[in-house]
Chain A
Amino acid sequence: MVKFDIKDLDIRFASAHALKQVSMEIRSNEILSVIGPSNSGKTTFLRILNRLNDLNQNFKMSGTVKLDGKDIKTIDPELLRKKVGMVFALPLPLPLSIFDNVAYGVRMHGMKNRKALAGLVEGSLKEAYLWEEVKDRLNESAFKLSGGQQQRLCIARTLAVEPEVILFDEPCSGLDPISTAKVEDAMVKLKEKYTIVLVTNNVKQAARVGDMTAFFLSGELIELDKTDKIFTAPHDKRTDGYIRGKFG
Chain B
Amino acid sequence: MRDPYRTQRIAFLLLLLATLLIVIPVGMIVVIIVQKGLPAINWQFLLDMPRQGMRAGGIFPAIIGTIYLVSGAIIFALPIGLLAAIYLSEYSKDNLLTRLIKLAIVNLAGVPSVVYGLFGLALFVVFFKFGASILSGSLTLGIMILPVIITTSREALESVPYSFREVSLSLGASKWQTIRHIVLPNAIPGILTGTILGLGRAAGETAPILFTVAAFYLPRLPDSIFDQAMALPYHLYVISTQVPNVDEKIRYGTALVLLALVLFMNLVAIIIRYKFRKKKKW
List residues of A whose CB falls within 8 A of some B CB.
50, 52, 55, 57, 78-82, 85-86, 88, 90, 92, 94-95, 104-105, 108-109, 141, 143, 154, 157-158, 161
Instruction: State the Cβ distance, B21 to closest chain A Cβ, in Å.
Output: 45
**Cα distance, A94 to B163, chains bound together (Å):** 9
**Cα distance, A79 to B173, chains bound together (Å):** 9
Chain A residues with CB under 8 Å of B173's CB are 78, 104-105, 108
Interface status of B44 (Cβ within 8 A of chain A) = no
Residue of B with least CB distance to A158:
B171
Could you list 13 further interchain pairs (A-B, Cβ under 8 angstroms) beyond the known A55-B166, A104-B173, A108-B177? A52-B166, A78-B173, A79-B172, A81-B172, A82-B171, A92-B164, A95-B282, A105-B171, A105-B172, A105-B173, A108-B171, A141-B281, A161-B171
Q: Is the CB of B171 within 8 A of A95?
A: no
**Cα distance, A143 to B282, chains bound together (Å):** 8
Chain A residues with CB under 8 Å of B177's CB are 108
Q: Is the CB of A92 within 8 A of B167?
A: yes
Query: Is chain B's binding surface mostly helix, strand, loop or mixed?
Result: helix
Instruction: State the Cβ distance, A107 to closest chain B Cβ, in Å.
Output: 8
Q: Is the CB of A88 within 8 A of B281?
A: no
Chain A residues with CB under 8 Å of B169's CB are 52, 55, 81
List residues of B whose CB falls within 8 A of some A CB.
93-94, 163-164, 166-174, 177, 181-182, 186, 281-282
What are 28 A-B residue pairs whose CB atoms fall within 8 Å in the complex? A52-B169, A57-B93, A57-B94, A78-B172, A81-B170, A81-B171, A81-B172, A85-B170, A88-B167, A88-B170, A90-B163, A92-B163, A92-B164, A92-B166, A94-B167, A95-B186, A95-B281, A105-B171, A105-B172, A108-B172, A108-B173, A108-B174, A108-B177, A108-B181, A143-B282, A154-B167, A158-B170, A158-B171
Chain A residues with CB under 8 Å of B167's CB are 88, 92, 94, 154
Chain B residues with CB under 8 Å of A79's CB are 172
Q: Is the CB of B172 within 8 A of A109?
A: yes
**Cα distance, A50 to B94, chains bound together (Å):** 24
